[in-house]
Amino acid sequence: MATAFIETPNSSSDPSDMVTEEIFVPDILPPSETSDAAPASTSAPSPKLNSQEPAPIAELDFLSNEHRKVIPLRYPFRYQGAEVREIAVRRLRIGDVDRFIQRARQGGFSTFDVYAEMAGYPAAVLRGLVDEDGDAIVDACFDFLPQALRPAPAPPAS
């Protein structure tokens, strides 16, 4: 299992106060593709995608809204000419998680990069929110953060 480093907010009032944490990144390939052993199956191998081209992710029409949460903003703003009065935070799809794992293997990402994907706005916009709204968005995103992207627990103090 590989590891990656992510940045996590350390302060609810100072978005620049970040802590770098190590997370474990699960291996994605089945054991038969990562070892020199013969494959368990005699079926044709799955096609390899170009590492530069992300695998497609289907746009599904989910039957409930439990995978998303709408956060009304106390301090609405204008972004690219449109008024923003709320931000909808959504759970990541497994394909999105896979893309972050691939990015971690190529150099990493910050927690705000993940939150940006979940909120549909660039990380710079999330960092520009007033603290109260930013805290509400970060809290909602953290609640939806997949286990594979959560920081590793700190070792117990001895």
Our separate counts of H helices and E strands in the chain read 5, 4
Phi, psi of 121 (to 5 degrees): -130, 150
The answer to the question of residue 145 being in a domain is yes
Backbone angles phi, psi at 118, to 5 degrees: -70, -30
The pLDDT value given to residue 5: 60
Average pLDDT value for residue range 11-25: 64
Residue 31 inside a domain? The answer is no
| pLDDT attached to residue 13 | 64
pTM for the full model?
Answer: 0.61
In a domain, 43, yes or no: no
Amino acid at 109: F
Computed over every residue of the chain, the mean pLDDT equals 76
What pLDDT, on a 0 to 100 scale, did the predictor assign at position 58? 84
Greater model confidence, 43 or 69: 69
Under the phi-then-psi rule, with left for phi > 0, alpha for psi from -120 to 50, and beta for the rest, what region is 88? beta
Determine, yes or no, domain membership for 45: no
Residue 81 lies in a domain: yes
Q: What angle do CA 115, 116, 121 make, to 5 degrees?
A: 140
71, two tokens: 């956060």
Rounded to an integer, what distance in angstroms lies between the CA atom of residue 116 and that of residue 125? Answer: 8
Q: Is the dihedral of CA 11, 15, 16, 21 positive or negative?
A: positive
Q: Does any domain span residue 30?
A: no
Domains: count for the chain: 1
Does 79 reside within a domain?
A: yes
Q: Is the pLDDT of residue 70 over 80?
A: yes
CB atoms within 10 A of CB 120: 11
**More confident site: 125 or 18:** 125
User: Which residues span the domain enclosing 148?
Assistant: 1-22+67-152
Task: Give domain status of residue 39, yes or no.
Answer: no
Quote the pLDDT of residue 156: 76
State the pLDDT at residue 9.
Answer: 67
Contact in structure between 65 and 76 (CB atoms under 8 Å) = no
Cα of 107 vs its chain's centroid, Å: 15
Least confident of 40-49, 50-59, 125-134: 40-49
In this predicted structure, which of 19-23, 127-131, 153-157 has the lowest mean pLDDT? 19-23
pLDDT digits (tens, 9 = 90+) for 76-116: 999 999 999 999 999 988 888 888 888 777 777 788 888 99
Please work out, in degrees rounded to the nearest 5, the angle formed at the alpha carbon of residue 116 by the alpha carbons of 145 and 25. Answer: 45
Res 62: pLDDT: 83
Q: What is the rounded CA–CA span in Å between residue 133 and residue 106?
A: 32
Task: Supply the pLDDT for residue 47.
Answer: 44
